[in-house]
Amino acid sequence: MIEARKTEVSECRGRFDRTKTHHLGWIAFLFGFSDSFLVYILSSYFAEAIGGDNVSAFYFFAFGIIFAALFFLHTGIRMAGGSLLFLLFLLVVVIVQIPLIFLPVSFGGSALIMVYLIVTALAWVVLDVLLERFSKDEYSGRIRGFHLSAINLGFLFAPFLAAFVLGRYGFSGIFFVSLVFYSVLFLVSLFFLFGSNVRFKKRAPLMEAFRNVLHRPDILRIYAVSFALNFFYAAMIVYTSLRLRELGMAWDDIGIVFTVMLLPFVLVQYPLGIVADKRLGEKELLIGSILLSALSTAALAWIGSASVFVWASALFLTRVGIAGVEVLSDTYFYKRIEGNDGDLIAFFRTARPMGNVAAAILLGVWLLVFPLSNIFLVPAVVLLLALIPVFFLEDNLSECDRELLMQRKLVSEASKHSRNTSF
């Protein structure tokens, strides 16, 4: 019996689709590069098109639509298949950007960019679903760490290139280059995903999804962490570039700052995923990561200099912590679910639009009272509040770790039985 158990453990450790996860890693890299090429400059586009005071309202509307759409995403995957739906979303992104090349900065262009924001947000969730279907729980830390590292490697260089293009060719040049990147992403995705159109076999009604979540307290707790993470992203992506421009920093310098800022996502996420899998668990590492990111973000409110070195160093420190929060919250969640839990994945990914909607409302009100320089205090406080649910998390054990514990239990029981029979 013990030997059979050892065989099961060995099989458990070697069972997941490495080829597909590596293919999805390449797709994630290209998607991260393409998305980050635009994401850090869009707030400047909106500020020029509709006025800086209306930027928060614009994001509020866009992410409200995303929030509603996520609850129907499971049905879309069930009917069309994950791979096909992902490719359709990418095709929409490509089509939307063609008129943006020729349109002046305007409200009409802003409406097209809103479509871009909605579709790319949904595409990211579908990519998550595909990755989960080809993954195995005991490797979640490493798989998610590798996946996020691939995404963030793309994020690393794109903002610098975007700042360079924007400074010389304006927004028309930005959208032209972005169109090229997304076209390449579409073709690569078509090649890698051909013949693997993942579908859900069962319906997942909205109320059933809510009931499932309400009976999973750890899912709710890690959702709160993901909410805080996405609140942070919403605040920092929108307002950091506006703050740097307010201080008088040139776009070329902003590109350098953002490139340095994003280095931790490439450097720390995969190693942290391994450590979470093998040694400490997500809970302990999450506490340290949240504290570091919250305190370093709060410190930004007192930087009044336009120094590239100062801002690059300070923002680098914030991302060391937040990179840990991102990979560890994802790892924890995906170890708690199965590949067919599309309703739970869709619910978990509502943390992004919820975080963005909350940020748009709260930060919009905040700026009515306080100057832009103090905006960083808000995400810092939200991150600190996320520590409360983290303290109540039940730490994860992988399936194979549970098998090993069972093996030890069997050995102990066999030993006890042997002692009893000897008498």
Q: CB–CB of 249/306 below 8 Å?
A: yes
Residue 410 covered by a domain: no
pLDDT at 225: 93
Residue 342: which CATH number? 1.20.1250.20
- Positions in the chain short of pLDDT 50: 1-15, 398-400
Domain count, the chain: 1
The residue to which tokens 């990979």 are assigned: 327
pLDDT at position 36 is 84
Q: Are 197 and 81 in contact (CB under 8 A)?
A: yes
Amino acid 207: pLDDT: 57
Which residue's structure tokens are 């160093």?
313
332 is a domain residue: yes
**Residue 2 falls within a domain, yes or no?**
no
Q: Can you read off the two tokens belonging to residue 239?
A: 């307002």
Instruction: Give domain status of residue 12, yes or no.
Output: no
For 166, counting Cβ atoms within 10 Å of its Cβ (0-12 exposed, 13-18 middle, 19+ buried), the class is: buried
DSSP strands (E only) in 248-318? none
Is 409 part of any domain?
no
Q: Which pLDDT score is estimated for 176? A: 94
Q: Say which residues have a Cβ less than 8 Å from residue 415's Cβ, sequence separation at least 6.
A: none
Residue 422: what pLDDT? 54
Task: Report the distance separating Cα 317 and Cα 328, nearest Å.
Answer: 17
Burial status of residue 92 (CB atoms within 10 A of its CB: 0-12, 13-18, 19 or more): middle
What distance in Å separates the CA atoms of residue 400 and residue 10, rounded to the nearest whole number? 9
Please check whether residue 10 lies inside any domain of the structure.
no
If DSSP codes are grouped into helix, strand and coil, which group holds residue 280?
coil
Q: Which domain holds residue 396?
A: 17-195+212-403
Give domain status of residue 63, yes or no.
yes
Is 240 inside a domain boundary? yes
Q: pTM for the full model?
A: 0.70
